[in-house]
Amino acid sequence: MKEFKLTAWPELPAPYQRIAYRRMLSDMSHRFITAQQLCDSSGATKLEVRVFLQMLAERGLLRERDHEDSQGLFGPLGGWLRRAWHGENATH
C-alpha cells in the first residue's frame, strides 16, 4: 500500500472544484496519507481518489512511499523520530 504527500498546491481544473478534492489536498499537504484515508476523510469514492491521485502524479505534484502498517514501540512518534534523525525519506 502507498502513501501520498502533496509537493505543491495546484490550481484545480473545473472537474475538481468540489470540497472533497480540496479536503484531500489539505490532508496531503500536511502529511503522508493512504488512498483509503483520503476516501474516509473526504467522502470521495475509491475511483474518485484514484483518478485524482493519478492526475496529481501526472503533473508531478505527489511524493509516494510505502505505507508502514506497524509504527513500532512509539507509534506515530517513532516514525517522526526516525524521519527527524535519518531524514524525511527514511523508512527503517
Q: Tell me if the pTM is above 0.75.
A: no
Closest-CA residue to 39 (of 29, 30, 31, 50): 50
DSSP secondary structure string, 16-75? G-SHHHHHHHHHHHHS-EEHHHHHHHH---HHHHHHHHHHHHHTT-EEEEE--S---TTT
pLDDT along the chain (92 residues), means of 10: 94 92 96 96 96 96 83 63 68 51
Whether residue 68 contacts residue 79, with contact meaning beta carbons closer than 8 Å, is answered with yes
Place of cell 472537474: 15
d(CA 25, CA 19): 10
Domain residue extents for the chain: 2-86
What is the CATH architecture assignment of 2-86? Orthogonal Bundle (1.10)
